[in-house]
Structure 1
Amino acid sequence: MKQILMASVAVLVAASGATAGGIDRSGQGLGALFEKGRYLELSFGLASPSVSGTDVLSAPTGDVAGTYAQLAFSYKYDISDQLSMALNIDQPFGADILYDTTSLVLGGTMAKAESYAVTGILRYKLNDAFSVHGGLRMQHAKGDIRLQGLAYGGLSGYNVSLSGDWAPGYLVGVAFEKPEIALRVALTYNSAIKHGFGTIERVGAVQVAPGSETEVELPQSINLDFQTGIAKDTLVFGQIRWADWSEFQINPAFFTPIAGGGLVDLEDTVTYTLGVARRFNENWAGSVSLNYEGKGSDDLVSPLAPTNGRLGATLGAVYTMDNMKITAGINYTRVGDARPETGTPDTARASMTGNDVIGVGVKVGWSF
């Protein structure tokens, strides 16, 4: 039954361009930790967001969200009957935003961020039902932001470069299992990770505030994963993920006092996934799931994260042959309408409506 659950996981990663303004991408899953025996997993996802609208002068913004790929690797090994370890490498957060220069209001505004994390995890079985897990995470991140257009007034042409930085974090969790009905509930806390980025700020070609450092806290989160059999060869599964995006601030030394605030302003997110999976025969299984993220308190958002909530569906299939398991699937997600804003008080500069994301994912796992 466990292999059926995996039919949706790789695909959800591919579609995560719709989550948390396009910043939360991998979901920091730990599925490989609960596989039996020694296990190796490689996954690839490709997300193609379509996020566009018109500015307040009725000019098109262009498709501001770029297509991106996601890669992940997991290895799990049993040290003893009670103790096991796993190594995960993923790309937890990212952004790829660029407004077309056809918009005089926001044209040229861009944000590009990349990250990857290496996580080592230990799991200890207290008995047949309960286990605890925990580990350390090393995360690398970097980013570039440019503000351009009439919406930024005298700060139009401002650019900040955040150089690559490594920083540590941790995770802890607990799980309950009842194998005879394929029941598993796992709760995992992922700590915030605070980066100190070497910072270069420019306005046009002029460098300002040389030699500064910008502290940025990538958010803490909690994942509640669950699954249970409901009939022969049929499984219900899901996840609830909370991420503390209200603590995610980018406040460079030159920009913040002049603008009266930082570069981004996001709200906490809660993302829900619920699905059903079924095994058709010894080789084939399939699944369907829905994913939902509620809208923020209003539709005024940062131009660097120009979406607000989401609702999507994922179709997945698993083919199992001997010790190899191939997972593939597709996700379609509608993202909520939003109005990018700047200024104090917040003033809408564009309207983004009718947008979506298509994601595909492939994952190959080997048990040995």
Structure 2
Amino acid sequence: MKKMLMGATALAMVGGASYAGGIDRSGQGVNILFEEGDYAQFTFARINPNVTGTPAVAGAFANANNVAQSFNQLSFGYKHEFNEKWSAAIIADQPFGAHVLYADGPFSNAGSGGALPFDAQADIDSRALTFLAQYNLGNGFSIHGGARALSVNGIIESGDGRLNADSDYDWGGVLGVAYEKPEIALRVALTYASAIDVGFDGDIEQLIGAGTLAPSRATDFTVEFPESVNLDFQTGIAPKTLLFGSVRWVGWEGFNLTTSGLAGDIEWVNFADDTYTYRLGVGRQINDSLSLALVAGYESSGTRPSTTALAPTTGSKSIGIAATYDTNKNWVFSGGLEYVIPGDQNVQVQSGAAPDLQFNDNSAVVAGIRIGYHF
């Protein structure tokens, strides 16, 4: 079953790096804890979206083409087994991010008629280090937990102006419980990650008139990155066949980025909905070296219309395939492809009865590889 578990893991990786709600990117999984013995893995994914908006009122604006930018996801994990009771792991990943650019259309410099001195965009990256320990309680039960350090940096350019900021590492906690029955490849793991208050330092250039920015001034603020719960499960359903899946909840409702302005506060980002992401798949061992898997994903849609041009889609559906090749000499190679249909969204950032842009019938392709080594 080990080879099929690796195939399932590869697909979970690919899906977690695709279009999740809010600015969720990695899914913050802890499945490396359940690998056999000492183990290291490196993961790379490339996400290529195609997201275009058309005017809600014909002729009102030009199209906003390809506003969602392609990006890469990297992660590294290492697990060490001290004895039958204790093991530990460290995970480095990029849990949050946003890459949106309006190079044309109403939120670009040209499309706004000069009202914006730049193209509206969000370019946000993050880095996290998660330190975990696991204790085997016996009878198939175990507990795991630890700490997560998060650092975020980026730039937002919108109708409010330009905000450029970054943070040091701030800390949160992780706690979970699992049950395993190896003879039928059964595992259920529940993991809670606390919210993290991230303190930022940066500068603001506030838009004070058409095409005019106020002089840059320093700012500091705090953003609470949300708590989350992951439920991961798998079980054998037939010889050499595995059913696996996950449910992830993230408390994005109330996520807010607000700074002080020249005449009151500026709300740069405000998310109105929590997200629930579901994945279900089947893995099949083909021979002693090769296994294949198929997985489907669904995320419920949030509020429409969006009040920020930086959130041009909501919810998603996806289908993916993966293959895992075990050399039977420590090395394990996995690869996967996923096709994602981001949920339709209307963007309304100006007052009026109709939204400014409608984002319908868009797509994304995700490709990923994972290299694992058992010591």
Superposition TM-score, scaled by structure 1 size = 0.92
Within a 5 Å distance, the mapping from 1:254-333 to structure 2 comes to: 254=261, 257=264, 261-322=267-328, 323-333=330-340
- The separation in 2 between residues aligned to 1:271 and 1:84, in whole angstroms, is 29
After superposition, the Cα gap between the structure-2 partners of 1:177 and 1:297, relative to the gap in structure 1 and judged at 3 Å, is same
Instruction: Note the C-alpha offset of 1:77.
Output: 0.6
Equivalent residue for 1:110, pick from 98, 105, 121: 121
* Corresponding residue SS for 1:4: helix
Q: Percent identity?
A: 36
**Structure 1, residues 299-333: CA drift from partner, whole Å, max 9, x if none?**
43521111011000110000001211100010001
Match of 1:348 in 2: 355
Equivalent residue for 2:238, pick from 190, 211, 231: 231
Equivalent residue for 1:139, pick from 145, 150, 155: 150
Letter in 2 for 1:10: A
Match of 2:215 in 1: 207
More divergent stretch after superposition (345-354 vs 125-134): 345-354
* Corresponding residue SS for 2:169: strand
Letter in 1 for 2:129: V
Match of 1:188 in 2: 191
**Structure 1, residues 95-143: CA drift from partner, whole Å, max 9, x if none?**
1000123432588110010001111100000003100000111111112
| Contact persistence 1:8–1:329 (CA under 8 A) | no
- The separation in 2 between residues aligned to 1:301 and 1:17, in whole angstroms, is 23
| Contact persistence 1:13–1:70 (CA under 8 A) | no
- The separation in 1 between residues aligned to 2:5 and 2:51, in whole angstroms, is 30
* Corresponding residue SS for 2:84: coil
* Corresponding residue SS for 1:358: strand
Equivalent residue for 2:70, pick from 67, 72, 77: 67
Instruction: Note the C-alpha offset of 1:14.
Output: 3.8
| Contact persistence 1:278–1:286 (CA under 8 A) | yes
More divergent stretch after superposition (79-88 vs 106-115): 106-115
| Contact persistence 1:195–1:216 (CA under 8 A) | yes
- The separation in 2 between residues aligned to 1:195 and 1:359, in whole angstroms, is 29
After superposition, the Cα gap between the structure-2 partners of 1:348 and 1:81, relative to the gap in structure 1 and judged at 3 Å, is same
Letter in 2 for 1:44: F
Within a 5 Å distance, the mapping from 1:45-124 to structure 2 comes to: 45-56=45-56, 57-103=60-106, 104-105=111-112, 108-124=119-135
| Contact persistence 2:258–2:265 (CA under 8 A) | no
Match of 1:30 in 2: 30
After superposition, the Cα gap between the structure-2 partners of 1:79 and 1:357, relative to the gap in structure 1 and judged at 3 Å, is same
Instruction: Note the C-alpha offset of 1:262.
Output: 4.4
After superposition, the Cα gap between the structure-2 partners of 1:331 and 1:254, relative to the gap in structure 1 and judged at 3 Å, is same
Instruction: Note the C-alpha offset of 1:272.
Output: 0.0
Within a 5 Å distance, the mapping from 1:171-186 to structure 2 comes to: 171-186=174-189
- Bigger share in helix: 1
Gaps of 5+ in 1: none
More divergent stretch after superposition (299-308 vs 189-198): 299-308
Match of 2:140 in 1: 129
- The separation in 2 between residues aligned to 1:182 and 1:14, in whole angstroms, is 22
* Corresponding residue SS for 1:354: coil
| Contact persistence 2:244–2:281 (CA under 8 A) | yes
Instruction: Note the C-alpha offset of 1:217.
Output: 1.1
**Structure 1, residues 23-73: CA drift from partner, whole Å, max 9, x if none?**
111000111110111101111100001111123424110100111111111
**Structure 1, residues 202-230: CA drift from partner, whole Å, max 9, x if none?**
0344236x332111111110000000000
Match of 1:39 in 2: 39
More divergent stretch after superposition (289-298 vs 43-52): 289-298
- The separation in 2 between residues aligned to 1:12 and 1:230, in whole angstroms, is 19
Instruction: Note the C-alpha offset of 1:256.
Output: 8.9
| Contact persistence 1:219–1:247 (CA under 8 A) | no
The answer as to 2:253 corresponding to 1:252 is: no
Instruction: Note the C-alpha offset of 1:298.
Output: 3.0
Instruction: Note the C-alpha offset of 1:248.
Output: 1.6
Instruction: Note the C-alpha offset of 1:170.
Output: 1.2
- The separation in 2 between residues aligned to 1:326 and 1:241, in whole angstroms, is 26
Gaps of 5+ in 2: 207-211
Instruction: Note the C-alpha offset of 1:297.
Output: 3.8
After superposition, the Cα gap between the structure-2 partners of 1:262 and 1:67, relative to the gap in structure 1 and judged at 3 Å, is closer
After superposition, the Cα gap between the structure-2 partners of 1:102 and 1:304, relative to the gap in structure 1 and judged at 3 Å, is closer
| Contact persistence 1:264–1:304 (CA under 8 A) | no
- The separation in 1 between residues aligned to 2:309 and 2:18, in whole angstroms, is 15
Match of 2:5 in 1: 5
| Contact persistence 2:3–2:289 (CA under 8 A) | no
| Contact persistence 1:39–1:366 (CA under 8 A) | yes
- The separation in 2 between residues aligned to 1:246 and 1:344, in whole angstroms, is 23
